Amino acid sequence: MQITNNGPCDSSGDRTTIATLLTENQLGRIEIVLVSPRNPLNIGAAARAMANFGFSHLSVVAPFEPHWREAQSAVGAESLLQNAKSAERLAEAVADCTLVVGTGTLEHRRAEQKAVALPELGGRLAGELHRGGRVALVFGSEKRGLTREDLSLCHLITVIPTDAAQPSMNLGQAVAVCLYELAVRGRFVAGIGTTADEKLMRATSGELDRLGGVIEEAMLEAGYSPEEMRAANRHDLRLMLRRLEMNAADVRRAMGLFRRMLHKMRS
Q: Structural domain boundaries of the chain?
A: 21-189, 205-266
* pTM reported for the whole predicted model: 0.85
- Which conformational region is residue 223 in: left (phi greater than 0), alpha (psi within -120 to 50 degrees), or beta? left
R_g (Cα) of the chain, nearest Å: 20
The residues, any chain, with a CB within 8 Å of residue 84's CB and separated by 6 or more, are 47, 58, 59, 60, 69
Give the pLDDT confidence score for residue 20 in this predicted structure: 47
Mean pLDDT per 10-residue section of the chain, whose length is 267 residues = 41 45 84 94 93 93 89 88 94 97 81 88 86 93 90 93 80 93 66 55 94 94 87 94 93 95 91
User: Under DSSP, is residue 222 helix (H, G, I), strand (E, B) or coil?
Assistant: coil
Read off the pLDDT of residues 12-30 as tens digits, 9 standing for 90 and up: 444 444 444 678 888 899 9
CATH 3.40.1280.10 given to domain 21-189: yes
- The b-or-e profile of 93-123 (16+ CB within 10 A means b, else e) is bbbebbbbbbbbbeeeeeebbeebebeebbe
Give the pLDDT confidence score for residue 199 in this predicted structure: 58
Tell me whether residue 248 is exposed, middle or buried, using C-beta atoms within 10 angstroms of its C-beta: 0 to 12, 13 to 18, 19 or more: middle
DSSP character string of 33-92:
EEES---HHHHHHHHHHHHHTT---EEEES-SSTTGGG-TT-TT-HHHHHT-EEESSHHH
